[in-house]
Amino acid sequence: MTAPQADLSGWSVAPFSGGGYTHDVYRKGSGPGVVLIPEIPGIHPGVLALGNHLVDNGFTVAMPSLFGEPGRGKTIGHIAASVSRACVAKEFAAFATNKQRPVSLFLRALARDLNASTPGKGVGVIGQCFTGGFALAAAVDDSVLAPVLSQPSVPLPLGRARRRDPGLSESELSAVAERAATEGLCAMGLRFSEDPVVPAERFAVLKERLGDAFEVIEIDSRPGNRYGFARTAHSVLTDEVREVDGHPAYEARKRVVEFLTQRLT
């Protein structure tokens, strides 16, 4: 059995401008809004399958195309080109610590726009891999009620400071922590236990700052684990999902849908 995949069928696309940036945004569905930020190398077939799954569960999904070629598979060339673009772009500040990333301004504007056109109390934001931490930075905005950080890998964990860096600035994290304390904001984080790109220290810092408002799902990828995950297992909600009850990534995806439903409806 392989991970779910899909194509661009049924998705509409139009440019959206916010925070000084313009990106194409793919939209589909009805119901409460979810901003689904793609992982490297972009809106690949696995991300599209996740988007369709959210639509099937009653959400309106908006996917910004931040890098890569939408609909194209995860080839070595596609990944390399996307990594090269993402790592040098000032918009993402891939190596900076304690940094407000410019892309967060775009994502907050997109979240506000989606919230204005969809029912529900607010919107969710799912970030993955390179974009994982961007979801929490978006939650500075009141429109965001359900940030989900799936395997957040920025800043790239080179050295102790970057391993502990939560992926957003201190002022942004303080604002999110304040919302958690006074407004009941909750966030969710997902990672594989042995993922070298998503250090455990990063989640520990977020847990320290957000406490019970930060729900963590950590999937065992140690050698000999029951489901045969490699030590390099990374993409919790896309590449590693097998649609079989009890499968940890499948159950994690179920919990994400449940979390979004509880927070937004």
- CATH number of domain containing 204: 3.40.50.1820
Question: Coil, strand or helix: which one is 125?
Answer: strand
80 pLDDT above the threshold of 90: no
> Which pLDDT belongs to residue 95?
75
Q: Which residue has the tokens 């297992």?
A: 233
Q: Residues 6 or more apart from 100 whose CB is under 8 A from it?
A: 137, 168, 169, 171, 172
> Which pLDDT belongs to residue 195?
96
Q: Does any domain span residue 60?
A: yes
228 pLDDT above the threshold of 80: yes
List the Cα angle 60/139/17 in 5-degree steps: 60
Q: Does any domain span residue 4?
A: no
> Which pLDDT belongs to residue 231?
93
Token couple for 24? 């194409």
Percent residues over pLDDT 90 in the chain: 83
Q: How would you class 30 by CB atoms within 10 Å of its CB: exposed for 0-12, middle for 13-18, buried for 19 or more?
A: exposed
Tally of domains in the chain: 1
pLDDT tens for each residue of 96-138: 788 888 899 999 999 999 999 999 899 999 999 989 899 999 9
Residue 146 CA to residue 87 CA, distance in Å, equals 27
pLDDT tens for each residue of 123-176: 999 999 989 899 999 999 999 999 999 999 998 888 889 999 999 999 999 999
79 pLDDT above the threshold of 80: no
Q: Does any domain span residue 247?
A: yes
201 pLDDT above the threshold of 80: yes
Q: Does any domain span residue 153?
A: yes
Q: Does any domain span residue 217?
A: yes
Q: Does any domain span residue 141?
A: yes
Q: Does any domain span residue 5?
A: no
pLDDT band for position 242 (50/70/90)?
Answer: very high
List the Cα angle 177/103/17 in 5-degree steps: 120
User: What is the span of the domain harbouring residue 48?
Assistant: 12-264
Q: Does any domain span residue 133?
A: yes
